[in-house]
């Protein structure tokens, strides 16, 4: 009798892994914290590398993330906390500010720190918007800007944390960013656009 392996177990594409982790954060962390009323602020969860056998440890990670969110609900911001570590497979969470209630995700894809990811995201977004602003100065009609995210460390939602620091956004009617073929509204001067897209999320 001979054992024959049929096919080769290939690792999931990084985009697929990001989608699955993003869904986990939205469904098992953000939604739960909202449901129980202790999500008070914007949190960033960072994955350094894809976690092997994630299904076996996701409940532990979920519980630790929720514990951090509950413990920091009364703070304006809070330092990052290590949630999971196995070699370079690391998960951390940081409370960024208390101006909106959301849990965002960055990574996996490298070994940058949360502060590096946030700083680079804001720099990239600010540079892109300023470059476009300079090119359309003489256009008078409402301007809609579509950005394409190619940074493997940041999801589109990560850029939302930078909005309050970019003054040049007011030059545009609306700004979208596309990440893995999914569009996310970053900014709009029309409240109906903002509320309408929020209702569909």
- Give residue-wise pLDDT tens across range 123-172: 778 888 888 777 777 777 788 888 877 665 666 667 777 777 777 778 88
Residue scoring higher pLDDT (196 or 178): 178
pLDDT at 7: 39
> pTM score > 0.85 for this model?
no
Which of 133, 84, 100, 104 has its CA nearest to residue 24? Answer: 104
Q: Helix 54-71 and helix 14-24: axis angle, to 10°? A: 50
pLDDT at 11: 56
Enclosing H/E stretch for 82: strand 78-86
Mean pLDDT of the chain: 78
- Asked if residue 170 lies in contact with residue 181, where contact means CB atoms within 8 angstroms, the answer is no
Collapsing DSSP to helix, strand or coil, 189 comes out as coil
Q: How confident is the model at residue 115 (pLDDT cuts 50, 70, 90)?
A: low
Q: How far is it, in rounded angstroms, from Cα 117 to Cα 169?
A: 21
Tabulate helix, strand, coil % of the chain (nearest 5). Answer: 45, 25, 35
What is 21-52 written as a DSSP string? HHHHIIIIIIHHHHHTT---SEEEEEESSPPT
Which letter does DSSP use for residue 74 in this model?
A: T
Q: How far is it, in rounded angstroms, from Cα 82 to Cα 181?
A: 31
pLDDT at 194: 62
Which of 85, 69, 87, 65 has its CA nearest to residue 77? Answer: 69
Please provide the distance, in angstroms rounded to a whole number, between the alpha carbons at the two ends of the chain: 54
């Amino acid at each position: 009798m001979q054992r024959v392996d049929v096919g080769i177990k290939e690792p999931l594409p990084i985009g697929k892994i990001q989608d699955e982790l993003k869904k986990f954060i939205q469904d098992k962390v953000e939604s739960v914290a909202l449901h129980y009323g202790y999500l008070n602020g914007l949190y960033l969860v960072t994955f350094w590398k894809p976690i092997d056998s994630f299904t076996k440890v996701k409940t532990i990670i979920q519980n630790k993330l929720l514990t951090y969110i509950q413990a920091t609900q009364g703070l304006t911001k809070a330092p990052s906390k290590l949630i999971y570590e196995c070699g370079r497979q690391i998960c951390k969470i940081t409370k960024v500010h208390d101006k909106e209630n959301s849990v965002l995700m960055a990574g996996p894809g490298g070994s940058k720190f949360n502060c590096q990811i946030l700083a680079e995201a804001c720099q990239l977004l600010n540079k892109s918007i300023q470059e476009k602003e300079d090119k359309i100065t003489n256009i008078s009609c409402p301007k809609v800007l579509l950005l394409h995210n190619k940074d493997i460390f940041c999801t589109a939602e990560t850029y939302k944390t930078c909005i309050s620091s970019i003054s040049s956004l007011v030059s545009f009617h609306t700004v979208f960013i596309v990440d893995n073929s999914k569009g996310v509204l970053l900014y709009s001067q029309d409240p109906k656009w903002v509320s309408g897209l929020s209702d569909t999320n």
